[in-house]
Amino acid sequence: MHSFFITLIVMVLLLKTLVSFLTGVGIIMALLFIPAGTLSYSRAWLFMALLFIPILVVGIVLFVKNPELLRKRLEMKEREKEQQSIVALSGLLLVASFVLAGLDYRFGWSHISHTLVVVASALLLISYGLYAEVLRENMYLSRVVEVQEHQQLIDTGLYGIVRHPMYSAVSLLYLSIPIVLGSWWALCTMVPCIVMLALRIKNEEQVLTEGLAGYADYKRRVRYRLIPFVW
């Protein structure tokens, strides 16, 4: 009976993962191709391949090696009111960026070279590599700002360079996406998302300083939050 319940829990997690993945694919396709007015938006297909293939690979790895972390990434919702506002505004900016990219393709507002698209594609993959490394290093990584039970301070690897390497990876992702999509206008709405990350960090550090043992000292040892030698 015990093994039956374990199997059932695993199957439910697998189903949630697949539903979340396919929902994400459908939403991004709608946001890009409907404004573009065509399915011939080749850079959108490139972006989707660069985005969703790594997501699928990371999801499979987490499902096999750390299903609890995968569950937390799928299910947790932000409880801090300040963070809820930041997350909501960031989501609106992301939607606006994708819609603008599709409209940009339809009306030909931007002209971005293939070389720059290739460079941005490489940066996007690098950002995913950094994100995957953060997942490997930090088993307490969560989508919400909180201090978990028995959580320990992580100060090695990327966490020895900046205090929030996940947000560093996401910032690089935000900057590369509009270029891959071939839209300077989309970049204009994506850049403020990084400002939202900075605001999120400010609140998150307050929570961690108050609730995570050793975090105040960690802030003194690792000076930079997001970008080495800058901030």
> CA angle, 130 as apex, 24 and 128 as ends, to 5°?
30
pTM of the complete model: 0.82
Question: What's the pLDDT at 183?
Answer: 96
- pLDDT for 116 equals 96
Residues (pLDDT < 50) of the chain are 1-8, 145
* Tens digits of residue pLDDT in 63-107: 777 776 666 666 555 566 666 777 788 889 999 999 999 999 999
Contact 134, 168 (CB under 8 A): no
Query: What is the SS3 assignment for the chain?
Result: CHHHHHHHHHHHHHHHHHHHHHHHHHHHHHHHHHHHCCCCCHHHHHHHHHHHHHHHHHHHHHHHHCHHHHHHHHHCCCCCHHHHHHHHHHHHHHHHHHHHHHHHHHHCCCCCCHHHHHHHHHHHHHHHHHHHHHHHHCCCCCCCCCCCCCCCCCCCHHHHCCCCHHHHHHHHHHHHHHHHCCCHHHHHHHHHHHHHHHHHHHHHHHHHHHHCCCHHHHHHHCCCCCCCCCC
2-221 under CATH 1.20.120.1630, yes or no: yes
The reported pLDDT for the residue numbered 200 is 85
pLDDT value at residue 85: 77
